[in-house]
Amino acid sequence: MSQPAIELVGVEKSFGPVRANRDIHLKVEKGTIHGIIGENGAGKSTLMSILYGFYQADSGQILVNGREVKIRDSQAAIGLGIGMVHQHFMLVEPFTVLENVMLGVEGGALLGPGRRAARAELRRLEEEYDLRVDPDAVVGELPVGLQQRVEILKALYRGAEVLILDEPTGVLTPDEADHLFRILARLRAEGKTILLITHKLREIMAITDTVSVMRQGEMVASRRTAETGVEELAELMVGRRVLLRVEKGAAAPGAVRLAVEDVGLVDARGVSLLGSVSFEVRAGEIVGIAGVSGNGQSELLEVISGIRSPTRGRVMLAGADATGRDPARMRDSRLAHVPEDRHRAGLVTRFEARENVMLGYQRAPEYGAGALIDRAALLSITRQHMEDFDVRPPDPYLKAANFSGGNQQKIVLAREIERDPDVLLVGQPTRGVDVGAIEAIHRRLIALRDAGKAILLVSVELDEIRALSDRVLVMCGGAIVGEVSPDAPEGEIGLMMSGVAGDAA
Ligand SMILES: Nc1ncnc2c1ncn2[C@@H]1O[C@H](COP(=O)(O)OP(=O)(O)OP(=O)(O)O)[C@@H](O)[C@H]1O
């Protein structure tokens, strides 16, 4: 057998007291797709950052094609043929695709003969790997699926033989994700090696050849994908059996807590984002909104939570008209909101965990309600949240940015859920969250339902919608196109989501 594309021997990395990577041994064979899975905070991103030269290992060896190397920065990684597609893209939005691909290569001269040569090379790569994008399109105007393709092209343009993808499907629609997998299969067929970090075990089963499992900084197992299954992988990740679908009893809906009446939203350019949306959520039920992202779900959450005012219609809370109240007043009316995008709307990443726990609730009586914050109270509440939601590490002073993605999500969820709201809006509650934490979050949402809360759930994960909801509303093109039972076949709901079928357009 040829040398592994990448081999790690005894790699260690600590951040202060946190041992993010402990004595890691890993072999990645050439021309394979190798999955890396593990709980939130297990150390996956840290390990990949070491490979990409973003962090330096404290000790251990890295071998590329059998030769020991030092990867001091990302230029060195690129020089060794290692490319990375980041979770949050590193593209220059006002620039075109071609300019982004050329940027930083050979002095970055964007004009002249170099540009013509680059255009020809870009075209060749697009054709070879079926990665089609208009080279003259402005990157900021492309949908995320295409922006991701630009990131991949950029890595290939730099000669990447090994591509690292960190949770690449988190931001993609199911169609875009399928397309990405076809691209990855094509790259493998052409001899490239791919390292894929994902929380979605279904993706691991569908696309990888080998999968390695990390737990608490260690590499605990490697399996040939064909010889394992989701149950075993989930157990290896978490160290215990995991319920991939939490049991829930029948709902006992009570009074209407949230009513959305004929809500419409037209943006400044006159584009209709929501058209005549009406539904109710009762105490003690979870109503799920299924839909391909970008079909009005985000705008609907923004209107109900008070971030945007509707152009038409009313939002009623417990029978009272709450239309147009700002988010602070909505919170005072016992409505809580877990926003879809924790980076943009849920957290201030440069603030510490404890400051984030208070975000939006600074005026709450438990923090002193006056000009001075009761720091001791804030600290003990933060510690409580961290314990209840198993936030790791349970350090109230750590900046939000330094928690792993899943742990950031737990901090936002804890803040909103522990306020004991009557109505809870939850957007993508388990995006980037590991299977063990998904189980915990799902149990918590069901317990809240059973305690009489009215819950509106928006998720692009159809599995999640079906597992949690008592009723499912399907959104397409800014409208509710039908209501189905959560037990309806996936294909039927999928067709409605794509606008092909539906009963009440
Ligand atoms: N720059 C940093 N400073 C301090 N601690 C850090 C830093 N980066 C990562 N950590 C810590 O190192 C550990 C491993 O984090 P890492 O991001 O590698 O986990 P992960 O497996 O990628 O998690 P997730 O699946 O949630 O993205 C975590 O405890 C995290 O809080």
Q: What ipTM does this complex have? A: 0.97
The whole-angstrom separation of Cα 316 and Cα 423 is 11
Digit-coded pLDDT (tens) for 423-436: 999 998 888 788 88
- At 503 the pLDDT is 53
Residue 50, helix vs strand vs coil: helix
- At 88 the pLDDT is 64
- At 1 the pLDDT is 60
Nearest CA to ligand 1 atom 10: 402
- At 108 the pLDDT is 52
- Hey, what are 252's tokens? 């006992």
Smallest Cα–Cα separation from 6: which of 87, 60, 73?
60
Bridging pattern class, strands 320-321 and 210-215: unpaired
CB distance 44 to ligand 1 below 6 Å: yes
**Among 37-41, 94-98, 223-227, 246-250, which is the least confidently predicted range?**
246-250
Mean per-residue pLDDT, 277-291: 96
The whole-angstrom separation of Cα 428 and Cα 407 is 14
Place of tokens 């950029």: 154
Residue 16 Cα: closest atom of ligand 1: 4
Mean per-residue pLDDT, 54-83: 95
Choose the residue to mutate in 402, 407, 408, 411 for probing ligand 1, maximizing ligand atoms within 8 Å of C-beta: 402
CA distances from 237 to 23, 107, 214 (A): 17, 44, 7
Instruction: Please measure the distance between the N-terminal and C-terminal CA atoms of the chain and give it in whole angstroms.
Output: 58
Q: What does R_g of the chain's alpha carbons equal in angstroms?
A: 24
Residue 393 Cα: closest atom of ligand 1: 29
Statement: 252-334+422-505 belongs to CATH 3.40.50.280:
no
Residue 418 banded pLDDT, cuts 50, 70, 90: confident
CB distance 81 to ligand 1 below 6 Å: no
CB distance 482 to ligand 1 below 6 Å: no
Contact 357, 378 (CB under 8 A): yes
The whole-angstrom separation of Cα 470 and Cα 289 is 11
CA of 102 to the centre of ligand 1 (A): 31
Q: Hey, which of 75-79, 152-156, 278-282 has the most confident mean pLDDT?
A: 278-282
- Hey, what are 321's tokens? 């008209």
Mean per-residue pLDDT, 316-329: 94
Q: Taking each helix axis from N to C terminus, what angle separates 405-417 and 435-450, rounded to the nearest 10 degrees?
A: 10
CB distance 466 to ligand 1 below 6 Å: no
Bridging pattern class, strands 193-197 and 162-166: parallel
CB distance 393 to ligand 1 below 6 Å: yes
Dihedral in degrees, nearest 10, Cα atoms 249, 253, 259, 260 = 30
Residue 111 banded pLDDT, cuts 50, 70, 90: low
Mean per-residue pLDDT, 19-44: 95
pTM for this predicted structure: 0.76
Percent of the chain with pLDDT over 90: 52
The whole-angstrom separation of Cα 403 and Cα 342 is 12
CA of 392 to the centre of ligand 1 (A): 9
Digit-coded pLDDT (tens) for 349-403: 899 999 998 887 777 777 776 677 888 888 999 999 999 888 888 999 999 998 8
Is there a cis peptide before residue 393, judged by omega within 30 degrees of 0? yes
CA of 12 to the centre of ligand 1 (A): 13
CB distance 37 to ligand 1 below 6 Å: no
Domain 6-238 fold: Rossmann fold (3.40.50)
Percent of the chain with pLDDT over 70: 95
Choose the residue to mutate in 11, 15, 19, 88 for probing ligand 1, maximizing ligand atoms within 8 Å of C-beta: 15
The whole-angstrom separation of Cα 426 and Cα 417 is 10
- Do 6-238 and 252-334+422-505 agree at the fold level? yes
Contact 481, 502 (CB under 8 A): yes
CB distance 436 to ligand 1 below 6 Å: no
Residue 52, helix vs strand vs coil: coil
CB distance 397 to ligand 1 below 6 Å: no
CA of 406 to the centre of ligand 1 (A): 10
Mean per-residue pLDDT, 163-177: 83
Residue 329 banded pLDDT, cuts 50, 70, 90: very high
Choose the residue to mutate in 45, 200, 391 for probing ligand 1, maximizing ligand atoms within 8 Å of C-beta: 45
CA of 426 to the centre of ligand 1 (A): 25
* DSSP string across 155-221: HHHTT-SEEEEESTTTT--HHHHHHHHHHHHHHHHTT-EEEEE-S-HHHHHHH-SEEEEEETTEEEE
* DSSP string across 124-150: HHHHHHT----TTSBGGGS-HHHHHHH
Nearest CA to ligand 1 atom 25: 40
CA of 330 to the centre of ligand 1 (A): 34
- In the chain, domain spans: 6-238, 252-334+422-505, 342-420
- At 225 the pLDDT is 97
Element (H, E) at 316: strand 312-317
Nearest CA to ligand 1 atom 29: 41
Smallest Cα–Cα separation from 27: which of 36, 18, 38, 14?
36
Nearest CA to ligand 1 atom 18: 43
Contact 26, 212 (CB under 8 A): yes
The whole-angstrom separation of Cα 170 and Cα 205 is 17
Higher local confidence (pLDDT), 170 or 7 = 7
Element (H, E) at 223: strand 218-224
CB distance 403 to ligand 1 below 6 Å: yes
